């Protein structure tokens, strides 16, 4: 989001720029829209005036659509010109873009002139053929103009694609700009203080465009811009990659961090880096400037030669002059010249904090400079009471307030945070924080109990029995005694009780054997719901008859070895479960005899016959079916059948 110095700084998201269609796409879109949005049928009864209006409407509508499409493209292209980064660094810059935009505007005007001329001719057309010919000629000339401007539209689409790849930079927010020679550690610094993932390689010009990251300082968001490396050479000899950095320095209001590689491992000496600093120092005006000496792990600043130290001191003096030239206070050496190492991360956070603090102070000073602050101060009035006697009454603070404030300060100093305790006891992974030490309990010893007092909203003590083990053992002993007593040997029973016991045991064994037989044959028997209902009614009838045949069923051994006896017993049980005839009268149904019931059933079947024939669900079914289903009355007619035209 770079802006020209003559244009107001605004934020723009290049990724949302609309796509520029090519010439053929515009022609297809407009002609299709004209065909869809205007009338298409001409009847032979139309008067000549109506025919003229018909074709004049098509020509005018097509011209309006072309005008809107080209105007939208032209407006968006003019908005792109705020990008100084692309215009000043590209081999095809602002002049080329203006020329292409000019051709688009010219094409729009030509289409308007063509429409005007042919509408004038259509007013005096004397036939349908003449009107149609003029309309075709008008649309053809408009499409020819669009085809000629096709290369301009294709070029604008390339510009849009290029600008969509540019980073989104807000020129109005707090910004830190990092510059210097290639391979001096700029990208490594950005990766350390932000979440950006800039590629870092041990060769020059790894960074070929701008990369933006974000960091926080004092609950404020700062954007950090990593620029490509700059070489010390004339302005006209710099390539597009270097011009990205130069343009950012020229047009962004940011704190500048000039990186120095004092170890010389980047391939450039300190003298060459100092020469670059002095050649671009005019771009540092009115910007907070910090000189960062990087790679101190390879070469400390105190160990460099005296000649190089003298160059570094000169650069520091220039930075101090820049601060004083902005109207700011004289900064200390620590705030202008800083050292760090991105490998060991020594001094990285100090450099970030110093740059953010300098930038914050500079922005506050800029806001206080305008005359508006004086206008605001004039609105305030401090009232001073007049003395009523000769006694002096100096301002005082109550003693209670001072004592409370001192007590709070003492408590704040004494209290240690978990971070302090962690650092004192070996750091992360060694010290484990005690989460129970701040529990509010009646006894502090309870904080270290393994079993909690409250669990899931319930009092754990309500569910604890201290004698649970003894109670459990007693229950087990009682169960063992009951099991021993349950087995009856029959010696203590009377003859009648022994006979009843034998009958019960026999009945139990029969039930078990019957259940096992049914379970074995259950997989081979089909499930018949009707038979099940019939058997249920048969069982009810058996109960009503007083279980006359029930005794016979109990006397038959279902587990007999003879297969014929088993089949006979099964047929007997089936004969008992047959349902009653439908005409049989059951008490409570309201019929006098079976003849009356049979007549009622016949009338019932006759009443639902029509409904069943229409396939209706019931009396409330009012659905009207499709009288002519599509699968029967659609498709090609066969030869000779014309009754369904």
In the chain, the percentage of residues whose pLDDT exceeds 70 is: 78
CATH number at residue 133: 1.20.120.1190
Q: Which of 163, 182, 200 is the last residue of a domain?
A: 163
Q: Name which of 141-155, 510-524, 622-636 the model is least confident about.
A: 622-636
What CATH number is attached to the domain comprising 260? 3.40.50.300
Q: What is the distance between the alpha carbons of residues 180 and 257, in angstroms, rounded to a whole number?
A: 8
- Per the listing, tokens 């009356």 go with 596
Does residue 341 sit in the same domain as residue 314?
A: yes
Cα-based torsion angle of the residue sequence 386, 389, 393, 399 in order, rounded to the nearest 10 degrees: -120
Instruction: Say what the pLDDT of residue 80 is.
Output: 60
Q: How does residue 139 score in pLDDT terms, banded at 50, 70 and 90? A: very high
Residue 262 placed within a domain: yes
Q: Which residue has the higher pLDDT, 240 or 506?
A: 506
For the chain, the distance separating the N- and C-terminal CA atoms, rounded to the nearest angstrom, is 68
- Answer yes or no: do 216 and 321 share one domain: yes
The answer on 267 and 151 residing in a single domain is no
DSSP letters for 117-146: HHHHHHTT--SHHHHHHHHHHHHHHHHHHH
Q: Is position 18 within any domain? A: yes
| Domain hosting residue 334, numbered range | 169-368
55 & 95 share domain: yes
- Please state, in angstroms and rounded to a whole number, the distance separating the CA atoms of residues 71 and 159: 17
What is the C-alpha separation between 59 and 136, in angstroms, rounded? 9
* pLDDT one-digit tens code per residue, 116-127: 999 999 999 999
Q: Per the domain annotation, does 470 fall within a domain?
A: no
By the 10 Å C-beta count (0-12 exposed, 13-18 middle, 19+ buried), 534 is classed as middle
Residue 545 within any structural domain of the chain: no
Chosen domain end from 130, 145, 163: 163
pLDDT in tens, 198-220: 888 877 777 877 888 889 998 88
**How many residues does the structure list for the chain?**
645
Poorest-pLDDT segment among 141-145, 245-249, 575-579: 575-579
Indicate whether 129 pLDDT > 90: yes
Q: Same domain for 88 and 200? A: no
Q: What angle do CA 340, 342, 345 make, to 5 degrees?
A: 75
Indicate if the pLDDT at residue 506 is higher than 80: yes
CA dist list (Å): 521 to 147, 526, 559:
87, 10, 13
**Is 178:224 a contact under the CB 8 Å cutoff?**
yes
For 500, left (φ over 0), alpha (ψ -120 to 50), or beta? alpha
Average pLDDT, the chain: 79
Q: Are 87 and 197 members of one domain?
A: no
Q: Give me the pLDDT at residue 4, please.
A: 39
Of 115, 144, 163, the position where a domain reaches its end is: 163
Q: Is the pLDDT of residue 526 over 80?
A: no
Q: What is the arithmetic mean of pLDDT over 7-29? A: 72
Instruction: Give the Cα separation of 296 and 304 in Å (integer).
Output: 10
Predicted pLDDT of residue 547 = 45
Q: Beta strand pairing status for 255-261 and 211-217?
A: unpaired
Here the tokens at position 543 are: 């109960």
Same domain for 296 and 253 = yes
For residue 21, pLDDT over 50 is answered with yes
Query: What is the structure's pLDDT at 162?
Result: 76
Element (H, E) at 612: helix 609-613
Q: Are residues 188 and 328 in the same domain?
A: yes
Residue 598 belongs to some domain of the structure: no
Tokens for 153, please give them.
């539209």
Look at 86 and 64; give whichever has higher pLDDT. Answer: 64
Residue 148 lies in a domain: yes
Which pLDDT score is estimated for 147?
93
For the ranges 73-82, 426-435, 595-604, the lowest mean pLDDT is seen at 73-82
**Residue 79 scores a pLDDT above 70:** no
- What's the confidence (pLDDT) of residue 528? 52
Question: Which pLDDT score is estimated for 135?
Answer: 94
- Whole-number pLDDT of residue 534: 46
Report helix, strand or coil for 79: helix
Tell me if the pTM is above 0.95: no
Has residue 54 been placed in a domain? Answer: yes
The predicted pLDDT at position 575 comes to 47
Q: Contact 259/179 with Cβ under 8 angstroms? A: yes
Q: Looking at the domain assignment, is residue 209 inside a domain?
A: yes
- The beta-strand segments (E) located in 252-325 are 255-261, 289-294
Task: Give me the number of domains the chain comprises.
Answer: 2
- 213 and 284, same domain (yes or no): yes
Query: pLDDT value at position 304?
Result: 87
pLDDT class of 62 with cuts at 50, 70, 90: very high
Higher-pLDDT residue of 228 and 7 is 228
Higher pLDDT: 540 or 278? It is 278
- What is the mean pLDDT of the segment spanning 601-608? 90
Kindly tell me if the per-residue pLDDT of 570 is higher than 70.
no
Asked if residue 222 and residue 115 are part of one domain, the reply reads no
Distance between CA 522 and CA 458 in Å, rounded?
A: 50
Q: Are residues 134 and 185 in the same domain?
A: no
CA angle 162-167-168, nearest 5°? 120
User: Where does the pLDDT of residue 100 fall: very low under 50, low under 70, confident under 90, or very high at 90 and above?
Assistant: confident
Q: What is the mean pLDDT of residues 285-307?
A: 87
On whether both 104 and 243 belong to a single domain, the answer is: no
pLDDT of residue 488: 59
């Amino acid at each position: 989001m770079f802006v020209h110095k003559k244009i107001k700084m605004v934020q723009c998201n290049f990724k949302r720029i609309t796509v520029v269609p090519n010439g053929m796409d515009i022609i297809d879109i407009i002609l299709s829209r004209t065909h869809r949005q205007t009338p298409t049928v001409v009847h032979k009864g139309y008067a000549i005036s109506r025919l003229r209006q018909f074709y004049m409407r098509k020509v005018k509508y097509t011209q309006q659509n072309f005008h809107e499409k080209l105007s939208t493209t032209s407006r968006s292209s003019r908005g792109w010109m705020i990008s100084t980064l692309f215009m000043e660094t590209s081999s095809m810059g602002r002049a080329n873009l203006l020329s292409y935009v000019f051709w688009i505007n010219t094409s729009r005007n030509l289409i308007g002139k063509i429409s005007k001329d042919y509408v004038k001719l259509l007013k005096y057309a004397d036939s349908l053929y003449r009107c149609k010919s003029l309309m075709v000629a008008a649309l053809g000339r408009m499409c020819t103009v669009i085809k000629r401007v096709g290369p301009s539209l294709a070029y604008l689409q390339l510009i849009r694609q290029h600008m969509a790849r540019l980073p989104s930079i807000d020129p109005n927010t707090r910004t830190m700009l990092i510059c210097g020679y290639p391979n001096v550690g700029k990208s490594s610094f950005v990766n350390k203080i932000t979440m950006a993932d800039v590629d870092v390689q041990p060769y020059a010009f790894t960074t070929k465009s701008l990369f933006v990251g974000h960091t926080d300082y004092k609950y404020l968001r700062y954007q950090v811009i990593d620029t490509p490396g700059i070489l010390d050479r004339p302005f006209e000899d710099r390539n597009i990659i270097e011009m990205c950095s130069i343009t950012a320095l020229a047009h962004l209001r940011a704190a500048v961090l000039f990186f120095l590689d004092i170890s010389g491992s980047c391939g450039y000496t300190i003298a060459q880096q100092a020469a670059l600093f002095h050649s671009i120092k005019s771009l540092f005006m009115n910007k907070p400037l910090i000189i960062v000496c990087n790679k101190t792990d390879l070469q400390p600043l105190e160990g460099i030669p005296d000649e190089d130290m003298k160059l570094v001191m000169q650069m520091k003096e220039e930075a101090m002059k820049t601060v004083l030239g902005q109207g700011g206070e004289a900064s200390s050496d620590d705030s202008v010249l800083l050292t760090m190492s991105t490998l060991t991360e020594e001094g990285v956070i100090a450099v970030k904090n110093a740059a953010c603090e300098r930038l914050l102070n500079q922005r506050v000073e800029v806001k206080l400079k305008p005359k508006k602050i004086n206008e605001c101060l004039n609105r305030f009035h401090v009232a001073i009471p007049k003395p009523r006697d000769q006694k002096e009454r100096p301002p005082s603070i109550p003693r209670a307030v001072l004592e409370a404030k001192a007590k709070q300060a003492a408590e704040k100093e004494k209290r240690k945070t978990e971070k302090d305790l962690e650092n004192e006891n070996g750091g992360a992974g060694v010290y484990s924080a005690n989460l129970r030490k701040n529990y509010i309990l009646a006894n502090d010893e309870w904080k270290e109990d393994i079993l909690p007092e409250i669990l899931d909203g319930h009092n754990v003590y309500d569910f604890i029995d201290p004698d649970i083990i003894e109670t459990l053992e007693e229950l087990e002993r009682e169960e063992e005694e009951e099991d021993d007593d349950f087995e009856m040997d029959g010696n203590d029973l009377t003859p009648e009780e022994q006979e009843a016991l034998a009958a019960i045991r026999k009945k139990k064994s029969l039930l078990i054997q019957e259940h096992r037989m049914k379970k074995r044959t259950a997989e081979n028997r089909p499930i018949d719901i009707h038979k099940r209902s019939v058997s249920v009614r048969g069982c009810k009838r058996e109960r009503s008859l007083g279980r006359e045949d029930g005794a016979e069923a109990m006397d038959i051994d279902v587990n007999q070895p003879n297969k014929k006896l088993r089949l006979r017993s099964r047929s007997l049980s089936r004969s008992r479960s047959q349902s009653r005839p439908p005409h049989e009268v059951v008490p409570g149904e309201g019929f006098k005899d079976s003849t009356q019931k049979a007549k009622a059933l016949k009338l019932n079947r006759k009443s639902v016959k029509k409904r069943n024939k229409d396939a209706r669900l019931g009396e409330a079914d009012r659905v009207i079916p499709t009288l002519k289903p599509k699968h029967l009355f659609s498709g090609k007619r066969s030869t000779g059948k014309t009754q369904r035209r």
